[in-house]
């Protein structure tokens, strides 16, 4: 199985900050990586797919990059509604594994 | 409106069985692969099963293989998860999510249904 490792596990940031979350795959996954946002008590929401494609309706301050084993999710200017937990997921091969999550907290 | 609505969760004793359902609307269910993802209390997301649009292909996580069975009824736009031999560690919120091997992403998601395995 492909292991997905996110860092950091949590980050404290202020509104307006630039936040970067990284995700590393244990083997190459091409660009088959998705990012999800989950607010407490809510279902996950797709943000980015195919490593860098922005899901319809998602604000442009979210962006993704990377290929192979190393990927990044960037929030260019953190907004109050962005405080949540973010997960990466590889969809290169089954089982479609998730990273352990990164919690973005208010500083 | 695209919507997935899960049902069937509840309290069950260890060793027991439960069947989850997921009703789909607002998108072409018959052309979409479907998945089940779960989240234990205070923990991260765990993908557990996939079924192709025609039901010809099914995949399972090691943690549930041999105990859980995924199925679907395209005539009813419904997805199912039959869970047998339930264990304490199966306690989680179970989400259904659309997404197959062509699109390679999970969207949309249901609101989730809580399964509690406890004596």
Predicted pLDDT at A8: 98
Would you call B112 an interface residue with chain A, using a CB distance cutoff of 8 Å?
A: yes
> Which class for B2: exposed (0-12), middle (13-18), buried (19 or more C-beta within 10 A)?
exposed
Q: Which of A94, A99, A101 to mutate to test the interface with B (most CBs of B within 10 A)?
A: A94
User: What are the pLDDT digits (tens) for A5-60?
Assistant: 999 999 999 999 999 999 999 999 999 999 999 999 999 999 999 999 999 999 99
pLDDT of residue A30: 97
Query: Considering only residues 13 to 52 of chain B, which have any Cβ-Cβ distance to chain A shorter than 8 Å?
Result: 35, 37, 44-47, 50
DSSP states along B72-106: EEGGGTEEEEEE-S--GGG-EEEEEEE--TTT-S-
**How high is the pLDDT of residue A107?**
87
Q: What is the pLDDT of residues A64-107, one digit of tens each?
A: 999 999 999 999 999 999 999 999 999 999 999 999 999 999 88
What SS3 state is found at B43?
coil
């Amino acid at each position: 199985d492909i292991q997905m490792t996110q860092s950091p596990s949590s980050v404290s940031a202020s509104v307006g900050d630039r936040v970067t979350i990284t995700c590393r795959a244990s083997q190459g996954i091409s660009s088959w990586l998705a990012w999800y946002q989950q607010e407490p008590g809510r279902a996950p929401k797709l943000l980015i797919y195919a490593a860098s494609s922005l899901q319809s309706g998602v604000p442009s301050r979210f962006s993704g990059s990377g290929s192979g084993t190393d990927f990044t999710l960037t929030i260019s200017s953190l907004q109050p509604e962005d405080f949540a937990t973010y997960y990466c997921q590889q969809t290169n091969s089954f089982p479609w594994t998730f990273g352990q999550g990164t919690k973005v907290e208010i500083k | 409106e695209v919507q997935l609505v899960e049902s069937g969760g509840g309290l069950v004793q260890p060793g027991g069985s439960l069947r989850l359902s997921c009703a789909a609307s607002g998108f072409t269910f018959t052309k979409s692969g479907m998945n089940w993802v779960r989240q234990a209390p205070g923990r991260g997301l765990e993908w557990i099963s996939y079924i192709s649009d025609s039901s010809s292909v099914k995949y399972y996580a090691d943690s549930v293989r041999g105990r859980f069975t995924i199925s679907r009824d395209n005539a009813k736009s419904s997805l199912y998860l039959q869970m047998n031999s339930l264990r304490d560690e199966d306690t989680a919120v179970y989400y259904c999510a659309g997404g197959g091997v062509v699109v390679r992403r999970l969207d949309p998601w249901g609101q989730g249904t809580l399964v509690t395995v406890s004596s």
